[in-house]
Amino acid sequence: MSSQQTLRIGLCGIGLEAYWEQFANLKPTLEGYVESVAVHLEKTTGAELHNRGLIDTAPRAREAGHAFRRADIDILFLYVTTYALSSTVLPLVQRAGVPVVVLNLQPQAAIDYAAFNQLPNRTAMTEHWLAYCSACPVPEIANVLMRAVIPFHQVTGVLNEEHTWKEIEDWARVARVKKDLSENRLGLLGHYYNGMLDIMTDVTQICITFGTHIEIVEVDELSALRSQVSEAEISQRVADFNSVFDIQPDCPAEELARAARTSVALDRFVDIYDLHSLAYYYKGSGVPANEDTMSSIILGTSLLTGRHIPVAGEYEVKNAIAMKIMDSLGAGGSFTEYYAIDFADDLVLLGHDGPGHIAIAEGRTKVRPLQVYHGKVGRGLSVEMSVCYGPVTLLSVVEDTKSKFKLLVAEGESVPGPILQIGNTNSRYRFPIGARGFIESWNAQGPAHHCAVGIGHVAYTLEKLASMLGIGYYKVC
């Protein structure tokens, strides 16, 4: 479960040209440090790397900035190798125009003071020290970037240490999510579920904040595509269903065929509009073709969600974004809401009708027939699954009066035990602050009633993403 977008990373070191004539070995030493970061980035991120080496003057900085812009990089790692002038940094980042991560990295955890003080002269001492003084210009750089209203992020540590590499890789991961969001084409199919004021949102602000493109698509067109699906395609898709899902014995063959027809049409629909995510809801009453389409959509939307095209029901635009974020992180991201509280076991049941992220299911996802879709029109097949047992993260994209949007996050655990066998996704979740503590703390942040759940604990990375997007962040637990 990983992004298919090509991430482009810019890397350069910064230094001071005046040093090179004074200290013969300093420049090649610092260039070696930059190269070690380049090698690691290429090895671990799978990104397209653009390394401009060591930049030491303002003219070279401008030239590098233009080169980075031509390369269309997504993130710039600015390695402060020694003292460098802020006048070298400013034109570089201004022209690059992408998120900047300042790497404040020493070659070792500490200077060997005894060996240092035994160097033959103070020139040699100064040269050795200058390879350690990356921290020196960072306040100067921060001052100028803040005054220029250019956001920046930092990694402070030791070169070639595990913590340093983890931080650098995490920022690259965040840049990939941001890129996925900026290239995300989100289809809106139908309309809001009547009366759900919490999920209604300003889609223009969605585009501004996340860079996502909104494509309004029509149920009528999906129904028309559905009428063009052949019997051979239906048979093949039913076979696909049997391969992917655990089809329960009481599922009628005609319902499987109906769902297969819609699934094939959905795939064509997504291809026509090049959709990378989808939010939908439509009653369809009064138009039999549309009602037939929308009441047979769940298996098809679950397949889409499992192959990195997350689908949110009830036209939940913000949650489609949350699901896309989690999927881009490789965590999945299944559509969910409160189902009940188990006070006896001190846990919360969360789930939802409609599509589930089958790639993060515990075992195979069951398909069950429903005689009624509660609160909705029609009947048909639905999916029932629990999220993989183990660590999970909940994410809600919340509208916020201060920062337009914020990421609301909670880490917990999906645990085994009885679930509601009602043909819906539903799981049992335990949180470190207990069921009551989680419910009240989560609600206090004013989220919509839906959220996305993914596998693993990724709050630390989501905090970085919020920072890079310039929006709020709140972690419940």
- pLDDT tens sequence across 9-35: 999 999 999 999 999 999 999 999 999
Residue 285: predicted pLDDT? 80
Q: Is residue 3 pLDDT above 70, yes or no?
A: no
Q: Is residue 5 pLDDT above 90, yes or no?
A: no
Architecture of the domain spanning 185-475: Alpha-Beta Barrel (3.20)
pTM of the full structure? 0.94
How many beta carbons lie within 10 A of that of residue 424, not counting itself? 22
Residue 108: predicted pLDDT? 95
Q: How far is the C-alpha of 424 from the C-alpha of 436, rounded, in Å?
A: 24
Q: Is residue 375 pLDDT above 80, yes or no?
A: no
Q: What percent of the chain has pLDDT over 70?
A: 99
Encoding tokens for residue 301?
Answer: 């939307």
Section 249-257 average pLDDT? 96
Nearby residues of 145 by Cβ (< 8 Å), 6 or more positions away: 89, 90, 93, 100, 151, 152
Per-residue pLDDT reduced to its tens digit, 313-365 = 999 999 999 999 999 999 999 999 999 999 999 999 999 988 999 999 999 99
Helix (H) or strand (E) holding 382: strand 380-384
Q: Is residue 4 pLDDT above 80, yes or no?
A: no
Q: Is residue 1 pLDDT above 60, yes or no?
A: no
Q: What confidence tier does 458 reach under pLDDT thresholds 50, 70, 90?
A: very high
Residue 136: predicted pLDDT? 95
Which of these ranges, 106-120, 155-169, 233-247, 373-387, has the smallest mean pLDDT? 373-387
Per-residue pLDDT reduced to its tens digit, 30-79 = 999 999 999 999 999 999 999 999 999 999 999 999 999 999 999 999 99
Mean pLDDT, the chain, integer: 95
Residue 159: predicted pLDDT? 95
SS3 content of the chain, % helix, strand, coil (to 5): 45, 25, 30
Out of 3.90.180.10, 1.10.287.110, 3.40.50.10940, 3.30.360.10, the CATH code matching 8-182 is: 3.40.50.10940
Residue ranges of the domains in the chain? Answer: 8-182, 185-475
Per-residue pLDDT reduced to its tens digit, 397-444 = 999 888 799 999 999 999 999 998 888 899 999 999 999 999 999 999
Q: Is residue 2 pLDDT above 60, yes or no?
A: no
Residue 402: predicted pLDDT? 82
Which of these ranges, 115-129, 168-182, 364-378, 414-428, has the smallest mean pLDDT? 364-378
Reduce the DSSP state of residue 235 to 3 states and report it: helix
Helix (H) or strand (E) holding 368: strand 366-370
Residue 370: predicted pLDDT? 84
Closest Cα partner for 359 from 320, 336, 331? Answer: 331
Q: What percent of the chain has pLDDT over 90?
A: 91
